[in-house]
Amino acid sequence: MQSACDAIGVTLITSIDTMSLAGADIWITDILDDTIPLIDLAQYRVVPVVPVSASPLFVEFDPMKFEGNAFIFDTVNQFQMFEKLIQALENMRYAGDKRMLLTNVEKGGKY
């Protein structure tokens, strides 16, 4: 994953302890547990890329409807995770999509 992130200019942070949420745009994980600062992610408007097991908390972003607050992958493998990371990056490039996505993230999915 590190080499893939390097290739597209994304910084990979492997420990939440060292994570600087104030400067982060996207957060990707293969697990969701109690150590994940979900309130902080919403407060800092960090877009989650998470497994489907987290779907009660997150809804897939639909840029056509401006609904959703995350990018969700079905199977934990580098291909699906990378696909969703690229989708997140693409949506962040467009001002309207980015504004609605970040608003939805901040609301915690209550839109």
- CA-based torsion, 62, 48, 53, 82: positive or negative: positive
Angstrom distance (rounded) from CA 18 to CA 81: 22
What's the whole-number mean pLDDT along residues 61-80?
93
pLDDT at 104: 95
Domains and CATH numbers, the chain: 2-107 (3.40.50.2000)
pLDDT category, 111, cuts 50, 70, 90? very low
Distances in Å between the Cα of 18 and the Cα atoms of 21, 27, 49, 101 are 9, 13, 19, 25
Residue 81 contacts residue 72 (beta carbons within 8 Å): no
Residue 27 contacts residue 46 (beta carbons within 8 Å): yes
Structure confidence by residue, pLDDT tens digits, 31-43? 877 777 778 888 8
Structure confidence by residue, pLDDT tens digits, 54-65? 767 899 999 999
